[in-house]
A and B are shown apart, each in its own frame.
Chain A
Amino acid sequence: MIRVNILTPQQAEKLGLKKTSQNSGSGIKAVGCIVEGKHGEEGKIVEQMILRENNETELIFMEKEREKDLKNRGQFSEYVKQFKKIPEELK
Chain B
Amino acid sequence: MGISKGQTPHIVEGLYMNNGKHHKVWKINFNMPVSCLWTGSCSMTDGWIGSYEGIMESSSRALAANGICPGFEVAESIVTYWWCVSDGSSLNGSACLRQCWTRGSTVIASAASYASISLSAPGSGWQWQFWQMAYMTGADSDEVCCDSYYCADTRAQQISGDDVSISNCNLNLYWGDVPSTSRCSSPLMGYIWVEDNNLNFINGNQWEHSMIGECIGWVGPSCAGAIYIDNNHYLNWVGCSGNLYRACWRLCQFCSTFSNSSGPNPSPGASYAGALWMDQEFGYTHLAYIGCDGNKYIAGAGRDPTE
Contacts and interface: CB of A to CB of B under 8 A. Distances in A.
B260 interface: yes
A87 B235 CA distance: 37
Interface of B: 30-39, 41-44, 47, 86, 94, 99, 109, 111, 113-116, 118, 121-122, 125-136, 190, 192, 204, 226-231, 235-236, 253-263, 265-268, 272-283, 288-290, 292, 295-296
Given A20-B295, A23-B281, A53-B31, A2 B134 contact: no
Interface string A1-21: 111111111011001111111
B300 to A, nearest CB: 13
6 contacts: A2-B273, A5-B275, A35-B38, A35-B130, A75-B116, A79-B116
Interface of A: 1-9, 11-12, 15-40, 42-45, 48-51, 53, 57-61, 69-70, 73, 75, 78-79, 82, 85-88
Contacts of A18: 279, 281, 288
B118 A42 contact: no
B103 to A, nearest CB: 16
A1 B192 CA distance: 19
A7 B260 contact: no
Contacts, number: 219
B129 A21 contact: no
A30 B266 contact: no
A30 B136 contact: yes
Nearest to B273: A2
Given A21-B253, A29-B109, 6 more contacts: A28-B258, A30-B135, A37-B128, A40-B125, A43-B47, A44-B41
A38 B86 CA distance: 10
Nearest to A80: B114
A44 B275 CA distance: 44
Contact of A3 (B36, B227, B261): B227
Contacts of A59: 260
A6 B31 contact: no
Contacts of B268: 15-17, 19-20
A34 B262 CA distance: 22
